[in-house]
Chain A
Amino acid sequence: MRRRAVLAVLALLAAGRAGAEQYPDTRQIVSIGGPITEIVYALGQQNRLVARDTTSTYPEAATDLPDVGYMRQLSPEGVLSVGPDLILARETSGPPETMQVLGEAGIPVVLVPDRFDAEGVSEAVRMVGDALGEADAAEAMAQRIEAQFAALRQGVEARPDALRVLFVLSVDGGRLNVAGSGTGADGLLSLAGGTNVMGSAFGGYKLITDEALIEAAPDAILMMDSTGDHSLADEAVLTIPAVTATPAGQAGRVVRVPDWALGFGPRTPEAARDLHDALFGTP
């Protein structure tokens, strides 16, 4: 184990020169964060995984792996108990105490930035690919993703009309909990060519007042296609008095995205394309 730690340090030094961290010989990987796990599977490296976090639920087979807990509440001993030789994690994983213990135990941790834009996806793919020693496969995948995004962007730029969209996460006592900037919904909307009406108003998800809603005048309302707690019938939103005063409410225009589309990963180009088609119609 000590030798492995030394190797890890050496690998780190070598990686520092190459510009990326590489651990091609790892066989006991813990993957923290849904998109990371998805990338590992997409690269066909799932046989090297020994555990995942609670947010890693795609593909279905990933749920058979032991679950080390929610990505922000990892237990140090829990993660160590699966005997990892590499941890791939979103950079917001934590708590910091746990990450510190993992470092002390000499286990390399590759932190992948959390970003809600097109570049973030291909960057994550390349980082995970490099770490796994599958740089070529990852490069091909990243380029495929970039090409998909580029095609979508062309379609979006060719379109003169902007569509103002409001993303509704949930309804709380008649008020809408909606997405501002820095959210997966905001990122997805801008990829799909829609304008988040709350994109410049605030960051994160917030409850908004009726007046702010009427003033925003969205053309369409976007909601999750959810089966869980966020399940909301179209009527539950469209019958809210303030909503009926907006163009979206008058047209009864509700568009749905799958839940997973709010996390950015290899399926994001597809999700953004579907959303684009749902908003603007298939060309």
Chain B
Amino acid sequence: MSLLEQVRQPRRRGRAAVEAIAGDRTDRARLLTAALCAALVLVALASLGWGAADDTRALPALLSRFGLAEAELRDRVIVWGVRMPRMVLGVLVGAALAVTGAVMQGLFRNPLADPGLVGVSAGAGLGAVSGIVLAGALPALLTGWLGLWLVPAAAFAGGWTSTLLLYAIATRQGRTSVATMLLAGIALAALTGALTGIIVYRATDQQLRDLTFWGMGSLAGANWSRVMLAAPLILAALAAAPFLARALNALALGEAAAAHLGVPVQRMKTIAILTVAAAVGASVSVTGGIGFIGIVVPHLLRLMQGPDHRYLLPNAALLGALLLLLADGIARTVIAPAELPIGIVTATLGGPFFMWILLRNRAVMDL
């Protein structure tokens, strides 16, 4: 049965047919989960084994931590200080971006929704820009130590501030209007854009280059302190996401219908928005802006296994992590010993690929 036929089949009437599809899709989703898990493990191991320093003896370096092998300092630093935190961060951020993308598309019932809609990216951008430019104004003594933390912390604070602001604006008498949030988000993005512009105007040439690179995203700055900064929030968000699945499924029918089905719509919105802000705020603050994962992954999975959020969310985490690791593999080897910002890789590969999917499935995706 082709993908296209399968997706079109609900048009056939009859309970038996619907159940057959549901069962078929469940099997398919479970199969996909298993395949993605296996692929993720393989790619994660590969990302520890390969890199620009291709003469690194990765296995002994890996084992040396546990006293099982001898390895040179350089190899140990490459495997444990560079590749390992980078891989862990890639998995966390990839999963976070893809899952929050799926949650946002479900919450806004809009296929174009991405985590940026809750204002977290714009706010984080403003925070990061302030951090980068402010760092230049601080005494060198402070920036030496603080320099590693200043930009992530500022980005994180910016992301949360703007999300909470948007949430407060969109909530009246205990009800959050998704439409207001969308529109207020556009206004807030314009405002943060203007503030960013003012700061950029004050920036030196070097800071300008830093800002440009920050906007393109990178896992290159990965280290354990960044993993520690991002991991608790991302893991908490990933743990919370599955509990939203049923509510998101019901929400596909509309807010009123979902409420009639017994879904606590308002509470669910609050949780969803907080989840997204936590995961994306943490991701953006440590890696900069990485596009496309949040859009491509959920759509790809919906085509492969249907829109049921119970299977969509976990598989999105796996596929997001997998794709980001693969993209990072390209980013860090293709022009070695230099490297590309990962946002460039995800957009150059993701853009055309997404267009191809759209063209192939135009009939199905027509929303």
Contacts and interface: CB of A to CB of B under 8 A. Distances in A.
Interface centre among B210, B220, B223 (most CB of A within 10 A): B220
B336 A78 contact: yes
B337 A82 contact: yes
A212 B220 CA distance: 42
Contacts of B77: 80, 101, 104-105
Nearest to A1: B72
Interface stretch (A16-24, A37-45, A62-70, A274-282): A62-70
B54 A81 contact: yes
A68 B332 CA distance: 11
A92 B81 CA distance: 22
Interface in A95-123: 95-98, 100-101, 104-106
B206 interface: yes
Contacts of A94: 210
B73 A72 contact: no
A205 interface: yes
**Which range contains the number of A residues in contact with the other chain?**
35 or more
B148 A79 contact: no
B74 A68 contact: no
A97 B209 contact: no
B54 A78 contact: no
B205 A205 contact: yes
A5 interface: yes
B82 interface: yes
B337 A51 contact: yes
Interface in B205-220: 205-206, 209-210, 213, 218, 220
A96 B138 CA distance: 15
B83 interface: yes
Nearest to A2: B73
Nearest to B209: A72
B81 A97 contact: no
B206 A80 contact: no
A104 B81 contact: yes
B270 interface: no
A95 B51 contact: no
B260 to A, nearest CB: 52
B53 interface: yes
Nearest to B202: A204
A51 B53 CA distance: 13
Interface string A1-16: 1100100000000000
Contacts of B341: 73
Nearest to A75: B339
Interface string A222-250: 00000000000000000000000000000
B337 A67 contact: yes
Interface residues of B, number: 37
Interface in A35-67: 51, 54, 66-67
Contacts of B78: 77, 80, 105
A100 B144 CA distance: 10
B87 to A, nearest CB: 12
Contacts of A73: 209, 213, 218, 220, 341
A278 B204 CA distance: 29
A76 interface: yes
Interface in B193-251: 201, 203-206, 209-210, 213, 218, 220-223, 226
B338 interface: yes
Interface centre among A66, A105, A183 (most CB of B within 10 A): A105
A94 B148 CA distance: 11
Contact of B148 (A2, A96, A182, A183): A96
B339 A69 contact: yes
Given A72-B209, A76-B82, A80-B53, A97 B339 contact: no
Contacts of B332: 75, 77-78
A75 B223 CA distance: 12
A67 B338 contact: yes
Nearest to A51: B337
A89 to B, nearest CB: 14
A155 interface: no
Given A69-B337, A77-B52, A78-B336, A96 B72 contact: no
Interface in B76-97: 77-78, 81-83
Nearest to B71: A1
Contacts of A5: 73
A54 to B, nearest CB: 7
Interface string B41-80: 0000000000111110000000000000000111001100
A79 B220 CA distance: 12
B147 interface: yes
B74 A105 contact: yes
A101 B81 contact: yes
Nearest to A184: B205
Contact of B221 (A54, A95, A104): A95
Nearest to A4: B73
B51 A72 contact: no
A203 interface: yes
Nearest to A96: B147
A51 to B, nearest CB: 6
B74 A75 contact: no
Contacts of A182: 204
A97 B74 CA distance: 16
A100 B203 CA distance: 24
Given A77-B82, A182-B204, 10 more contacts: A1-B72, A72-B210, A75-B220, A80-B52, A80-B82, A96-B144, A97-B220, A104-B81, A106-B73, A204-B205
16 contacts: A1-B73, A1-B74, A2-B73, A72-B210, A75-B338, A76-B81, A77-B53, A77-B332, A78-B332, A79-B337, A80-B78, A97-B148, A97-B222, A105-B77, A204-B203, A204-B204
In the A-B complex, the 7 residue pairs with the closest CB atoms: A69-B338, A78-B337, A81-B53, A81-B52, A105-B77, A75-B339, A1-B72
